[in-house]
Amino acid sequence: MTAPILSLRDLHKSFGALKVTDGVSLDIGAGELHAIIGPNGAGKTTLIGEITGEVPLDSGTVSFAGEDITRQPVHARALKGLTRSFQITQILPGFTVLENVAIAAQAHDGSSFRFFRPAGAETRLNDRAFAALGQVGLAGRAGAPAASLSHGEKRQLEIAMALVSEPRLLLLDEPMAGMGREETERLVEVLGGLKGRYPMVLVEHDMHAVFRLADRISVLVYGRLIASGTPDDVRADPAVREAYLGEEDFA
């Protein structure tokens, strides 16, 4: 059996008397898209922060690619390929779509942000940027100002900016928030195209998207995992239906 890319063991985190993570243990497979779902206030975003190092644990361990990274800072985890999309960098509206991705590639390589403009002219950076834009369906918008993109296209751009950092695991925190159905469908197609190429952890409230994309789903309620399994297993779990899904099918 292939070793997991990410292992969480008995994670605990409290803010005063409030337990936001209560004994969470979870493995993320090296090739899977794993969705984490649950009601508002369940602790999903806190859990993502614990994985990236933004939220310090009270106890428990986080292992990435076989290495214990529990006490490593955010930047060290990012350099190992643990990439959180949509919070890595801000889109720069005064630059083109291509320049935004090239700048993200330049930043990953350790170049100074003082050299924004030259980055767009470097063939190597442009090649990487075009390749990433192609993966998210934005190659045709490369020369457009980033400010002119729709909300959904900006999310696609942010994913492209994440891809040039050479991720070994993508953490996606509610990427479909604020989208209409057409934009959501487009992003589902993008993420479906990335499946198998990058392991992903997806926190998302759009259950139709989750059940179409996920290989496995874990359900978090009041900081505790109440179920984890295939979409069919989770869909049929009475405790999950009672706590979160209700009677809708999400087929």
Residues 183 and 245 in one domain: yes
Q: Is the pLDDT of residue 16 over 50?
A: yes
CATH of the domain at 24: 3.40.50.300
- Quick one: what percent of the chain has pLDDT higher than 70? 91
What's the chain's average pLDDT?
A: 89
Residues 174 and 224 in one domain: yes
What pLDDT, in 10s, does the model give residues 193-212? Answer: 999 999 999 999 999 999 99
Residues 158 and 105 in one domain: yes
Out of 129, 144, 164, pick the residue that ends a domain: 164
Residues 79 and 196 in one domain: yes
* Structure confidence at residue 111 (pLDDT): 56
- Quick one: what percent of the chain has pLDDT higher than 90? 74
Residues 218 and 231 in one domain: yes
* Structure confidence at residue 49 (pLDDT): 94
Residues 10 and 72 in one domain: yes
Q: For 94-112, what is the mean pLDDT?
A: 84
- Within 109-175, residue ranges assigned H as helices are 116-119, 123-135, 151-163
Give the C-alpha distances (Å, rounded to integers) separating 113 from 125, 126, 143, 169: 14, 16, 21, 25
Residues 117 and 200 in one domain: no
Q: What is the rounded distance in angstroms from the CA atom of residue 146 to the CA atom of residue 6?
A: 33
Q: For 30-42, what is the mean pLDDT?
A: 93
* Structure confidence at residue 87 (pLDDT): 46
Q: For 115-142, what is the mean pLDDT?
A: 81
Q: Is the pLDDT of residue 245 over 80?
A: no
Q: For 14-21, what is the mean pLDDT?
A: 94
Q: What is the rounded distance in angstroms from the CA atom of residue 6 to the CA atom of residue 222?
A: 22
- Which residues span the domain enclosing 193? 1-88+168-251
Are the C-beta atoms of 56 and 31 separated by less than 8 Å? no
Residues 148 and 203 in one domain: no
Q: CB-based contacts of 10: which residues, under 8 Å, 6+ apart?
A: 23, 24, 25, 59, 60, 61
Q: Is the pLDDT of residue 215 over 80?
A: yes
pTM over the 0.85 mark: yes
| Placement of tokens 């063939």 in the chain | 123
| Phi, psi for 13 (deg, rounded to 5) | -150, 130
Q: What is the rounded distance in angstroms from the CA atom of residue 142 to the CA atom of residue 98?
A: 5
- Comparing 250 with 112, the larger pLDDT belongs to 250
Residues 116 and 229 in one domain: no
Q: Is the pLDDT of residue 229 over 70?
A: yes
88 falls in which pLDDT band (50, 70, 90)?
very low
* Count: domains in the chain: 2
Out of 98, 130, 164, pick the residue that ends a domain: 164
154 falls in which pLDDT band (50, 70, 90)?
very high
Out of 145, 164, 183, pick the residue that ends a domain: 164
Phi/psi region, residue 204 (left: phi>0; alpha: psi -120 to 50; beta: rest), is: beta
Residues 199 and 186 in one domain: yes
Residues 54 and 111 in one domain: no
Residues 3 and 116 in one domain: no
Least confident among 26-35, 123-132, 215-224: 123-132
DSSP string, 200-223: EEEE-S-HHHHHHH-SEEEEEETT
Q: Is the pLDDT of residue 59 over 50?
A: yes
Top mean pLDDT of 8-12, 109-113, 114-118, 179-183 is at 8-12
